[in-house]
Structure 1
């Protein structure tokens, strides 16, 4: 970039290529960092800051965790065999040896005579002080070094730290003062927050540690507030518009309860009592039902839907895939057929779609199970009273919102077997009331979980053979469908199934996402009918698959899966009254992977695993926040910053209650800010 380069005209939404020195290739590398506009560049927060406030002369260098020095390269030598670059640095008072690993590209940047500033760890090697793989800042003639609390940014492709630091040093001071501040002054004053423009500037280039913390406090509050406001808007119901009152004491509800071959567990009973109270009120229900795999959420969902049928309304049950929708329909059909309640399956490939559409519109079809096909424009309901969304984490806000538009504020029950730590549930689900089914049905036992290395994988497959000999069934889950893994070693379902078919004594089935819907349904039907002993599959069996005779689960390369996935996979076995085992085959290559496997062996409760997931991975990716239609956390941490999360949520609740349409002049920027977060999340008719 040229010294003193100017950008005569620009806007925050201008593409990053508007800035001199950034062409299409570099723009693509920035895109990998989520940076497309100049505004995005301002929000590319540093991972951390290195303290370069003290420059140490080379004749005073000593062993230390971190030290900053400046000098001129006297010599550079690259060892191609060992892939080590060694340079000798001098400042006229002393010299320092410096080594870089796997950094051949640096040789071009560090020729003899190049002036540099280095920050890194200093060790004593062979009686001389050596700086090991430091951060490098190359200086042009007369250019002052970047000192103080220096930002260290995430990188992509050929973008180097020095380039990004120099770019930010030009861009941030120029653009930060023009950052709009959407948060009303009264709120800023109440919580002693600095202005947003200041916060942006100081997050990149803080004059001191106190202002860095003040910057983080403001930006963390903003992240929480923006998401909390977005969620409040999505779930806000006009108090003047009445919902539908259901009938949880109706004849169908009573007949269903009487037909059950078991009593509701205390956990189910408690959840149902809470839901009954919601259904009796004209205020639309918005409830999240959490419960571990096998805890009996489906029975509670059926009760909720029958309460709508008893009130003369319709109910819709939405599952994330055709396979799961078909399985849930089979469960519902088995329960409801004896009661005389028609229940149709509506997915993208059903032959009876036209008849089902007409029956739904006329009101003669009380209950339907489907996928996202239920939110297609052509699907109409006569009087939709209850919506049940299964495995909520598979749906974005956009899909749920569209489905709710099919009725006049229907009661909504959102179910998940992937429990969410309450700190995150507060933010992601806003004002959804949360119920939890605790405990397992009578006779159900926790699944024994065993971690084995690849060297000992025979232990897992011996357990599979023994289960088959007992007349039981098993799953084997692989991370890949077919072919070689670029990183080497991962098992592919197709290849493993072929190999297992050559071994006599068991009947092998194969299931993966690339199969046609008809083939997938046929394989699952054969597995349920015990025409298949061992089902080799990908994570397509992660949720919803219910075969009580399956007692062994083997997960190949288990370190490649997240905790939520592993917990869901484990939940496919132990669904009957027989003891069950889950074998996790892995040689974990990272500390995070080791911790995940240890947590799976140690804990069986989903909520405990969710908390461990939050601790291990941090908040950025937990729950797949972008699936909810809103950006995940960048600086904020719901555990560390719980107090600010709660404060921001209280502010959001009050703001939306006092000014639901953001009509006050001081809320104009705030509404645009929230709109930006919601643009891709909501149907347009919700926002306008």
Structure 2
């Protein structure tokens, strides 16, 4: 399989190109261009359409190229720290038009009265003014291109190198002919040539479309290859569980599974019966019931006397899962919990039980990764909120397994686009349905001027015996950000409701202090919990019916939705109050979106549109591809077609082996 950006025989160094000596090669190396493939894929960052338009037909605020005659002597004015403004009037298509160039004083001698000039810039139709960005001296039709060269070399010099590569090297990789015909794509060589030497708007569009498809298709092939390498067929991976025993257990549950939960259980159990290791992602909105799906599959593994583990990112979440599993399975499973605060004596007892196979299910934090933690026959690994663990941590846990079957769970709804790219090497099960009886959380937006209403709403829930979460974005006062901090809010609620009602928890507390505060809230000794986002994942208090989020404009949609998911976990109506004073249109839009939908998957798509793929998971998220032309948001439909074709091609290759 060809590497994505190797269309010419790899390993052909740039210093073999005509006109490239040691100095030029060094300059290219500064730009991380070492191979002729690097030259071809160092694409222009922008294009200037030099096709002249009629000013009478130009749209307001559009970037255009026009030509005409200079009618007045250019005036140059300097102001503030050497900044300059150059102004003249031109006759453009019979319209007397003002042209202004900022910080290009050297153009004064180029603009000569009664002589022809071609200008590229932004047109203000209301003022009949063009904010000139450049004078165009090359009057040939088509486009001029801009490269990111960090002032290492001139664009013309680099353009000559690109032309040299196209003229002297054979392109030995291309898209399959069937795909080019099916989707009306160009040859890769022609498309790349057009991107460097564009002739027209339509041709440039077709070339970009071809290279986008190529990138997305190659990336999906790479994921298929990775999936094939990781998932070797071996009868050892089969978990031949007792299906009748599992059915009897499911029939004893005090509730009926939703359709999506049943489908999730079937997906996982079908994987168990395959002679290939499981590699599945279980996505489900907050409160959708992923845990019971995983638990039923843990029971299936128990029917053959083998073990399962759930690894979670926090002790709070470990405690929640432990209590939930114990409550659901009672004596049907032997369950233990291992965290950083487990005593030495208790840990030794658990380690002995694991080695002897006496423990069916271990709920654990990172503590399970320690070398002294060994299982008897670990055959099912569940990693919750998997994006909070590094690759090496996940691999270390997998190394402890007897049969390699891994289920990743996340309560963060992942946009389909990112699911295909970031988790494309996994099978995916999605739980969209909420358990019966759950009501959508009613969400409203309030300004700080409406604090009396917010406090009254909290009081109403307290009077009915229910609990409230209150979230603040900062721990202490900030000199640079005008945000309500958690200590200030805590004091305000204590003044209003009394110290016996309000508890404070934040991330800088010692673990034992934080756990104690959570415990007081979970046991309903304290009815109001003031916290930072430490409660985003992990705490489960069905009695809580209200979530108040201060400075909500500071959070992304996904975080707001995760916080909102802490309430609405019973049949009672629950509420989320967003308290904010948004200063930007983007922040205001987030508030409007949050109050219009409670669908986590819809919110995740909107969040991706607003924040972009790099920010959605964090800029350090591994596995997120950096494409040259393709865009994960803009080109999501093309991504799906590319994935379908890659799967088809790869399966054909596998069958023909």
What TM-score do you get using the length of structure 1 for normalisation?
0.75
Deviation at 1:328, TM superposition (A): 2.0
1:218 equivalent to 2:210? Answer yes
The CA distance in 2 between the partners of 1:92 and 1:449, in whole Å, is 57
Structure 1 residues 275 and 67: CA distance shift in structure 2, 3 A: closer
For structure 1, the 5+ residue unaligned runs are: 20-34, 101-105, 665-688
Residue in 1 aligned with 2:534? 540
Per-residue CA deviation, residues 527-572 of structure 1 (Å, 9 max, x unaligned), is 2122333222222222232111111112222223222222111111
Residue 432 of structure 1: how far off its partner (Å): 3.5
- Give the structure 2 partner of residue 122 of structure 1: 123
Report whether the alignment pairs 1:231 with 2:232: no
Alignment of structure 1 residues 399-478 onto 2, 5 Å: 399-430=393-424, 432-478=426-472
State the Cα distance separating 1:522 from its structure 2 match. 2.1
Q: Distance in 2 between matches of 1:15 and 1:532?
A: 65
Q: 2:30 aligns with which of 1, 18, 28?
A: 18
Correspondent of 1:381 among 372, 375, 380: 375
What is residue 161 of structure 2 aligned with on the other side? 174
Q: Quickly say closer, same or farther: Cα 1:17–1:484, change in 2 above 3 A.
A: farther
Quote the residue 2:75 is aligned against. Answer: 75
Q: C-alpha separation between the residues in 2 aligned to 1:285 and 1:61?
A: 58
Q: Alpha-carbon deviation of 1:117?
A: 7.4
Tell me if structure 2 keeps the 8 A contact 1:620–1:632: no
Distance 1:549 1:73 in 2: 77
Counterparts of residues 90-489 of structure 1 (less than 5 Å): 97-98=98-99, 107=103, 112-113=108-109, 119-123=120-124, 129-132=128-131, 134=132, 136-137=133-134, 148-151=142-145, 167-171=154-158, 174=161, 184-185=173-174, 187=176, 190-191=179-180, 193-194=185-186, 196=188, 199-200=191-192, 202-203=194-195, 205-236=197-228, 237-240=231-234, 242-247=236-241, 249=243, 254=248, 258=252, 260-339=253-332, 341-347=334-340, 351=344, 352-353=346-347, 356-357=350-351, 359-375=353-369, 379-395=373-389, 399-430=393-424, 432-484=426-478, 486=480, 488-489=481-482
Counterpart of 1:627 in 2: which secondary structure? coil
Task: Output the CA distance in 1 between the equivalents of 2:171 and 2:192.
Answer: 14
Corresponding residue number in structure 2 for 1:87: 86
* Residues 382 and 154 (structure 1), Cα distance of their counterparts in 2 relative to 1, 3 Å cut: farther
**In 1, distance between residues paired with 2:24 and 2:355?**
49
2:47 counterpart of 1:8: no
CA shift digits 1:645-679 (9 cap, x unpaired):
24432443355546679x99xxxxxxxxxxxxxxx
What's the offset of the Cα at 1:454? 3.4
Matches of 2:254 and 2:57, distance apart in 1: 81
Q: Residues 266 and 225 from structure 1, CA distance in 2 versus in 1: closer, same or farther, beyond 3 angstroms?
A: closer
TM-superposed deviation, 1:298? 0.9
Structure 1 Cα separation of the partners of residues 34 and 463 of structure 2: 62
Q: Give 1:203 shift.
A: 3.4
SS in 1 for 2:243: coil
Q: Which has the larger radius of gyration?
A: 2
- The 1-side partners of 2:187 and 2:61 are apart by 37
Separation in structure 2 between the aligned mates of residue 399 and residue 145 of structure 1, nearest angstrom? 59
2:63 counterpart residue number: 66
Supply the distance in 2 between the matched residues of 1:417 and 1:124 (Cα, whole angstroms).
50
In structure 2, the CA distance between the partners of 1:424 and 1:122, relative to structure 1 (3 Å rule), is closer
How far residue 581 of structure 1 moved from its aligned partner, in angstroms, is: 0.7
The answer to whether the Cα contact below 8 Å between 1:75 and 1:111 also exists between their aligned partners in 2 is no
Displacement of 1:98: 4.6
Distance 1:137 1:579, change over 3 A: same
Distance apart, 1:630 and its partner CA: 3.2
Once the two structures are superposed, what CA deviation does each residue of 1:241-283 show, in whole Å capped at 9, x if it has no partner? 541315253758845763x443434443343344333334444
Q: Answer whether contact 2:333 2:361 (CA < 8 A) is retained.
A: no
Query: How far apart, in 2, do the equivalents of 1:44 and 1:9 lie?
Result: 20
Q: 1:15 to 1:249 in 2, by over 3 A?
A: farther
Offset from partner CA, 1:86-120 (integer Å, 9 cap, x none): 421478999864558xxxxx547668547797533
Kept in 1: contact 2:301–2:307 (CA 8 A): yes
Provide TM-score, normalisation by structure 2: 0.78
Aligned to 2:51: 53
Kept in 2, the 8 Å contact 1:177–1:197? The answer is: no
Partner SS for 2:545: strand
1:320 is paired with a residue of what secondary structure?
A: coil
Q: Is the 8 A contact 1:397 1:629 kept in 2?
A: no
Check the 8 A contact 1:272/1:300 in 2, yes or no: yes
Check the 8 A contact 2:335/2:363 in 1, yes or no: no
Instruction: State the alpha-carbon separation in 1 of the partners of residues 429 and 59 from structure 2.
Output: 59
Matches of 1:9 and 1:130, distance apart in 2: 48
Residue ranges of structure 2 left out of the alignment (5+ in a row):
1-17, 112-116
Q: Distance in 2 between matches of 1:491 and 1:146?
A: 59
> Deviation digits for residues 217-253 of structure 1, max 9, x if unmatched?
2332233234323432443312245413152537588
Change (3 A) 1:169 1:117: farther
CA contact (8 A) 1:512 1:538 kept: yes
